Structure 1
Amino acid sequence: MLSRGRIRSLAALLTASLLGACAGQTGKLRTATIDGDLGEWRGGVASIATADDVYFRFSPGEVCNLQANDETTRLVFDLDNDPATGDRLDGPPDVGTLGVDMEILMSPPLTAIDPGAAQHIISRRIQRGQPASPFVGGLTVLTHVNGVTSRYKHSAAGFIASPTYADDMFEARLDRHAPGFRGTGLQRAGTARGIVLVTDAAGRVIRYSDPIEFVLPEMGPARLARPALPAQPEGTIRVMSMNVLRGKPLENPEPFARIIAAVKPDVILLQEADDMTDDSLKAWLNGYVGPLPGKQDWAEGVQGLAGAAGTWDASARPDLGVAIA
């Protein structure tokens, strides 16, 4: 049965444009740093839409870890403000007025992700003796364009959210240039609408926000990010933590190798290193990354690692999906 419980903190989920906030707000916030610190969101501002990104804060209505929950938090958008386009969802009456162009599902049901990935997750849970669950950790992005529903990972949609621990209020960013948003309306200028839904395993709405409107300015040309890493002080060790998306470096090595080469870590801690063994990870690192300039050989001082000079060594636990190199 549909719950009428509204999310108290979301009367205006996305209400501010680049030029200002809604009535009574200062509109001084022009961008946000997605770091889990919501102290910069002052004066009632709930969103900032720029030529490149949309930043917003939202709440699932209770304390939870967005990407490891037994409910799905869904950010639902009608990006062209046209109920005749996109998909139609069941739920509270306000949802029926939206032509849903895009959804962001955090802790999605297994039925919402790629069937092959879902089967892999089920098999891995059985192998590790983990309890069954209709949900999966992480998030997935759905777009509904011209009658076709497409799935994207968060990286293809330019979506990040923080904090990554349990809380009742979060901030997030959408990259308007992301390839996953083409045709959805996010790249146009004009009014868009949205709503936040929290659904159970059967897709029934158990909490929801008021519907909202927000304004997208003209989109600017795509700009390359130029992140600068701080210099590594002498006598220190640079440790890199890396989620490798269920062993994807073995299937698609180049992007992961480029990131490692740019960061130049001394130690890499890998999560979701599924199906990686000591030998396969060692061969991958030495074959695709190779020696990193300016790095010292110190593996002999680490238990379980004893690589030769100028080479990577690795220790993997494929049963747990973790590794160190």
Structure 2
Amino acid sequence: MDRSLEPGSTPSGRSAPSAPTSTEPGGDRGAPSHDPRRPPGARQEYEAWLFGPFRVHRGGAPLGDPRGGRATARTLLKWFLLNPRQEFRDSELAEVLWPGCTANRANRLHVTQHSLRRVLEPELASRQPSRFIRSDPTGRYWFDPSDCWWTDVDDAAALSKTACAARRAGDTAAAVTAYERLLAYYDQGFLPEEVYRDAFAPFRAAHERGHEETLLQLLRLHRRAGHLYEALTCALRILDRDPYAEEAATAAVEIHLEQGSLTGAVSQLEQFIRTLRDDLGVAPSGELLALRERVRHAR
């Protein structure tokens, strides 16, 4: 299951999938039911946010806790939402929930799934099958959203596609709008309460790459449009995440020059060259040396 993926896609091969305030399927009952990054429009019956603290709403209201407050039921739902319609054996699901533990896993998985079914569909009669959590006689399980679910992860995937299409079409304003909405998701972090669960690591890594790519594309778009303040903000945010990002450092120096801040340009460039030398033992590239000459001649 540890498959690599493109930025903006998930380990299951689906397009990458948004976010808010609680750690259970029901979430914080005081949290707003509308995500400010989501555009107005028709709502699905169920809505789930995986960026930022996890929460799930049904009909615009937060769902309650799984019976007994089972954290594993919340984790199972997260896994299902990230892998819709993908089949898993009970042993695979048990490894997601209780990695390395083999004791009584089949019974524990049965209880966990029962708890999740009841919180998602409390109206289910005894032995009535769930609309979403499906299984077959061979012991395979899968989650069928049945076109009833909206997730921020899927919204992020759609935003990524929209942004890329607008950028390639030369529509800078539309691309910036889509990338900024995407960035609002990434800034919250992905499933922060599952940071130590290895099963989610490939998804987290994919969204980290998506975060970096979004900032980089916004930097380029703002520079192209002459938005110096916004471009400099993006460059500095990239350097906060990756202090060795030469494109961002170069952009920051050049923007300082365009703004008439020679002191800022010198400080930014020398700090970056010093970081490369002290941390990595790397000499400045020819491009950086040429930039240093430009800065010197600007004095």
TM-score (norm 2): 0.30
The structure whose residues are more often helix, as a share, is 2
Q: Whose radius of gyration is greater, 1 or 2?
A: 2
More strand by share: 1
TM-score if structure 1 supplies the norm length?
A: 0.28
